[in-house]
């Protein structure tokens, strides 16, 4: 639209100017110029100049912005018109004018203006070219910037996605870590930290409530659960199977836990239940019964049925009247009481149990002090050969000369020492004291009978017992046949595989074993055959009514001899008992009929008389 318009505007005046010039040209050539003619000439020249400028405007309009250049040229035309008008005004019509010189001067100005315009046009063209190059460079830079922006945007978007992924991963790791911190890694149950936080929150919530006068008591119960004889599974089938059993136990326990309860695993084979909003203690007891019943069915692992039972201790907080630590401690106390009472049962904590627990705590400290202060004393009860009535062996017994309670018999502190886990300390003290005494008597020239020392089930399961006895044999330089050990039938059968292993180690050292209280537990004949035992010892329970128990006593003696073992009866108090036992084939006799337990000084006197 712009170019046709410019062409029309510029060519129209051109035609007019040519027509005017056609009419005036002959006059200019034929007659000399007068004033009118000079004015006409000047006008024609001005028109020609305007025409030239218009043509120049037309030429430049294509190369440069029309509007700006037109304004400039119009200004120049106006200036030339004003100059031409000034010349016409100054020219007298009657005066001869040097038209040629005037035209030359005007032509010179026009050429100068034209050259200036051409130079400016050239400069403008160059400037336009430079601007075009700059614009092109700017466009390239813009394109590069846009490309870089897009690339950077894509990179930032990718980085944002990667950052978001890392944040999600970190959040998942944090959540996983928080879960692992508060849950047991094996069973997935709540752990001790989670349980204690929940217990604290429950008790705090109850304490902050405003109880109504007619409102019933709000009870919170903690049930401490410990699997009975779980160590037997670990020792006999391995810890991996033991872990599988723990997972199976956890899954089964969850099926019998109500909604208002939380099941947690504290570690090992210990589980704890928190039950809240109970109306009475009976509800806690019913939950304990349900747990015991839940474990009654065997667990099938590796094509083998595994039976497991649990002992449970129950502690109750009424309206949040106990702190979490005390409540858990009380449940633990009740648990140990349930174990001591025979296992596979529950016990509710009472103040009586609390007093007993405090007594056990004092006893633990006193037993440790007794070993350091030599408050324990050895007593010796002779064992005779049934046929010859000769002093052939002696059972080592221990008495505790308590600083406040006087002499305590074994039944007064041995069960408690077993309950607090210190019986091994007592056993080792007795063993070492026996070796010391025998070495002193042998050094004095006495013929010392075989000493049989009672060891607990805890000591029997301790694999370091053989090393301890080896050290004593080397230290005191006494024959290994001088000392034998007595273990109860129940202790030997609790973990038969470990018993066979450890007793075999003692047998390699030359230390034989007697089985005490035979007939009171549940010995298997196959196990009895595998155990390296030299003597079966029948308890006073059967000997006391020897006449009525004659068939049992006879069967035990026959079985022992069939297994190439000797048999001993303890608790012999009357000649009739001794006569019967000798008649049915007992090899060794022990009891008050022959001697009460003697202190070392009295037995030394007996040894001196036998020299």
Structure tokens at 557: 């003696």
Cα distance between residue 46 and residue 40, in whole Å: 10
What's 481's DSSP letter? G
- All residue ranges of the chain with pLDDT < 70 are 1-70, 72-74, 76-77, 80-81, 83-100, 102-103, 106, 110, 210-216, 521-524, 611
In 3D space, the residue among 414, 593, 584 whose CA is nearest the CA of residue 516 turns out to be 414
Count of beta carbons in the 10 Å neighbourhood of residue 460: 23
Structure tokens at 307: 């039976």
Between CA 583 and CA 588, with CA 585 as vertex, the angle to 5 degrees is 105
Cα distance between residue 611 and residue 607, in whole Å: 7
What are phi and psi for residue 566, nearest 5 degrees? -90, 165
With the CA atoms of 33, 36, 39 and 43 taken in that order, what torsion angle do they form, in degrees rounded to the nearest 10? -100
What are phi and psi for residue 498, nearest 5 degrees? -70, -35
C-alpha torsion sign, points 468, 472, 473, 478: negative
β-pair type (310-318, 346-348): parallel
CA dist 330 → 48, 123, 254, 354, 501 (Å): 126, 105, 23, 7, 37
The structure's pTM equals: 0.57
Cα distance between residue 496 and residue 501, in whole Å: 9
For residue 5, what pLDDT is reported? Answer: 46
CA dist 589 → 385, 536, 562 (Å): 7, 12, 19
Cα distance between residue 211 and residue 217, in whole Å: 9
Cα distance between residue 43 and residue 103, in whole Å: 11
Q: Say if residues 377 and 401 touch (Cβ distance below 8 Å).
A: yes
34-73 pLDDT, tens digit each: 555 555 555 555 555 655 665 565 555 555 555 665 676 6
Assign residue 302 a region: left if phi > 0, alpha if psi is -120 to 50, beta otherwise? left
Between CA 486 and CA 389, with CA 578 as vertex, the angle to 5 degrees is 75
Cα distance between residue 44 and residue 50, in whole Å: 10
Name 488's Cβ contacts closer than 8 Å, sequence gap at least 6.
Answer: 457, 515, 516, 517, 521
Residues making up the chain, counted from first to last: 611
Cα distance between residue 413 and residue 419, in whole Å: 10
For residue 223, what pLDDT is reported? Answer: 96
Q: Say if residues 545 and 516 touch (Cβ distance below 8 Å).
A: no
Cα distance between residue 1 and residue 11, in whole Å: 16
């Amino acid at each position: 639209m712009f170019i046709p318009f410019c062409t029309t505007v510029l060519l129209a005046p051109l035609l007019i100017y040519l027509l005017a010039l056609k009419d005036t040209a002959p006059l200019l050539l034929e007659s000399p110029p007068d004033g009118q003619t000079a004015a006409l000439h000047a006008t024609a020249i001005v028109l020609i100049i305007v025409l030239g400028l218009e043509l120049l405007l037309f030429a430049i309009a294509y190369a440069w912005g029309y509007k700006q250049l037109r304004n400039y040229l119009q200004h120049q035309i106006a200036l030339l018109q004003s100059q031409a008008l000034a010349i016409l005004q100054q020219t007298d019509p009657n005066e001869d004018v040097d038209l040629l010189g005037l035209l030359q001067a005007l032509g010179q100005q026009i050429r100068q203006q034209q050259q200036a315009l051409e130079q400016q046009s050239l400069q403008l063209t160059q400037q336009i070219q430079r601007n075009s190059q700059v614009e092109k460079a700017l466009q390239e830079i813009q394109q590069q910037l846009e490309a870089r922006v897009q690339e950077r945007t894509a990179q930032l978007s990718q980085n944002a996605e990667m950052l978001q992924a890392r944040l999600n991963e970190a959040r998942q790791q944090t959540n996983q870590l928080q879960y692992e911190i508060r849950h047991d890694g094996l069973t997935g149950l709540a752990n001790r930290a989670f349980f204690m936080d929940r217990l604290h929150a429950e008790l705090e919530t109850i304490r902050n409530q405003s109880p109504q006068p007619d409102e019933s008591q709000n009870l919170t119960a903690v049930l401490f659960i410990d699997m009975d004889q779980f160590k037997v599974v670990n020792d006999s089938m391995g810890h991996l199977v033991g872990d599988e059993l723990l997972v199976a136990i956890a899954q089964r326990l969850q099926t019998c836990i109500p909604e208002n309860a939380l099941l947690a695993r504290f570690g090992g084979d210990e589980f704890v239940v928190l039950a809240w909003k109970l109306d009475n203690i009976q509800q806690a007891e019913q939950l304990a019964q349900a747990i015991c019943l839940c474990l009654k069915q065997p667990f099938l692992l590796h094509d083998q049925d595994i039976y497991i039972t649990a002992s449970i201790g129950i502690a109750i907080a009424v309206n949040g009247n106990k702190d979490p630590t005390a409540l858990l401690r009380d449940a633990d106390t009740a648990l140990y009481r349930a174990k001591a009472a025979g296992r596979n049962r529950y016990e509710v904590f009472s103040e009586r149990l609390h007093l007993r627990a405090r007594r056990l705590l004092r006893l633990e400290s006193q037993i440790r002090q007794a070993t350091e202060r030599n408050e324990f004393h050895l007593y010796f009860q002779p064992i005779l050969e049934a046929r010859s009535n000769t002093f052939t062996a002696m059972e080592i017994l221990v008495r505790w000369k308590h600083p406040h309670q006087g002499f305590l018999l074994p039944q007064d502190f041995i069960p408690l020492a077993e309950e607090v886990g210190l019986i091994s300390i007592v056993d080792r003290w007795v063993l070492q004291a026996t070796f010391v005494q025998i070495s002193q008597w042998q050094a004095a020239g006495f013929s010392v009978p075989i000493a049989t020392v009672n060891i607990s089930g805890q000591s029997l399961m301790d694999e370091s017992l053989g090393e301890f006895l080896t050290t004593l044999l080397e230290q005191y330089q006494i024959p290994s046949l001088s000392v034998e050990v007595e273990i109860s039938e129940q202790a030997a059968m609790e973990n038969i595989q470990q018993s066979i292993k450890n007793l075999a180690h003692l047998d390699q050292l030359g230390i034989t074993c007697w089985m005490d209280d035979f007939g009171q537990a549940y010995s298997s004949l196959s196990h009895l055959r595998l155990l390296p035992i030299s003597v079966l010892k029948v308890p006073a329970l059967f000997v006391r009514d020897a006449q009525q128990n004659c068939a049992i006593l006879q069967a035990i003696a026959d079985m022992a001899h069939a297994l190439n073992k000797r048999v001993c009866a303890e608790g012999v108090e009357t000649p009739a008992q001794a006569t019967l036992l000798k008649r049915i084939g007992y090899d060794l006799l022990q009891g008050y009929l022959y001697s009460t337990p003697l202190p070392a000084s009295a037995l030394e006197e007996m040894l001196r008389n036998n020299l």
